[in-house]
Amino acid sequence: MTYAKIIGTGSYLPPRRVTNQDLTAMLAEKGIETSDEWITSRSGISARHYADANVTSSDLAVRAAERAIEAAGVDRQQIDLIIVATSTPDFVFPSSACMVQSKLGITSNCAAFDLQAVCSGFIYAMATADRFIRSGMYRTVLVIGAEVFSRILDFNDRSTCVLFGDGAGAVLLQASDEPGILSTALHADGSYVDILCVPGHVSGGTVTGDPLLKMDGQAVFKLAVNVLDKVAREVLEQAKVDAAQIDWLVPHQANIRIMLGSAKKLGLPPERMVATVHEHGNTSAASIPLALDAAVRDGRIQPGHHVLMEGVGGGFTWGAVLLRM
């Protein structure tokens, strides 16, 4: 049996760190009131990182990918597929994955494409890579989540602009006889398009509609807690793994209250959940690989550990991946 196994992880945050106090001062200049207390108590976020204006998702992706490749210790020319999960690509086209391939100097036979499932993007990309590896079509797959959400934030809307940040995370997956990804589940319900969206498009050389993020926070919150629990149980059931066997829950880092709610429903103590939301904010498709890499590098996640990753995002989309490191 062939499994898709993680052989390296990497991540990258742009250096500009913006604290809640910085954001409070920025918004105050526009006459908009917020506070560290409000942001921390509602979301768990204390700071986020923003990329400079000339930095794109593929720039962040390449930095994260280089770290994952270095950790894996493989020749980058072995990579035969690159999937970039992003909702903030460099261009309408070509894909950010093609930009990454070029910037990494990969000149061997390597396919590349972007995948868009908003904050569930990394989960969708992992499930996709898993199927390609199991089928034997590709052997060494670079999966990246990369976002510059600061570009699509409405800084006149205090209920959304305080929640998101920029960053990238990457994993290198390779075909292995040893268990890696054990089970995956993906879902979508397009009837919820309106509760989280960026309803703009390029037409005739201008953006038609609204190019900034809109969210009904309370509707998202209620839906998220419910679907995350169901999909977590679905992947556990598929793999015949008990919730008590999960060593680490690595959820999408949207809001500490949603994350703790998910862990509690699974019967997991908060200590078995990886949380980076306080320092990263919500980095959409980048949030799970950023958190995963943090816990791999500080030694919490060890070879052989069962890791459950789960995500939920615009669309509405949601999914989970259960794996053995």
Q: Which residues bind ligand ACO (CB under 6 A)?
A: 34, 38-39, 42-43, 118-119, 158-159, 162, 196, 215, 217-218, 220-221, 224, 254-255, 258, 282, 284, 312-314
- Cβ of residue 61: shortest distance to ligand ACO, in angstroms? 18
Residue with smallest beta-carbon separation from ligand ACO: 217
Would you say 128 or 282 has its CB closer to ligand ACO?
A: 282
Is 306 considered catalytic here?
no
- Cβ of residue 163: shortest distance to ligand ACO, in angstroms? 6
Half-sphere CA count of 183, side-chain side, radius 13 A = 14
Give the active site residue among 98, 255, 282, 306: 282
Is 119 considered catalytic here?
yes
Give the active site residue among 49, 252, 280, 306: 252
Would you say 5 or 158 has its CB closer to ligand ACO?
A: 158
- Cβ of residue 101: shortest distance to ligand ACO, in angstroms? 26
Q: What angle do CA 191, 194, 200 make, to 5 degrees?
A: 125
Q: Name the one residue in this structure whose structure tokens are 């390609």.
A: 132
**CB distance 84 to 93 below 8 Å:** no
Phi-psi region of 246 (alpha: psi -120 to 50; beta: other; left: phi over 0): beta
**Distance between CA atoms of 43 and 167, rounded to whole angstroms?**
18
Would you say 162 or 275 has its CB closer to ligand ACO?
A: 162
The angle, 0 to 180 degrees and rounded to 10, between the axes of the packed helices 217-239 and 256-265 is: 30
CA distances (Å), 118 to each of 32, 180, 270, in order?
A: 27, 25, 26
Contacts of 75 (CB under 8 A, 6+ apart): none
**Distance between CA atoms of 36 and 20, rounded to whole angstroms?**
5
**Distance between CA atoms of 76 and 92, rounded to whole angstroms?**
26
- Cβ of residue 157: shortest distance to ligand ACO, in angstroms? 8
Would you say 4 or 39 has its CB closer to ligand ACO?
A: 39
- Cβ of residue 262: shortest distance to ligand ACO, in angstroms? 12
Give the active site residue among 20, 49, 110, 119: 119
**Distance between CA atoms of 131 and 14, rounded to whole angstroms?**
32
Would you say 140 or 150 has its CB closer to ligand ACO?
A: 150
What positions carry a catalytic annotation? Answer: 119, 252, 282
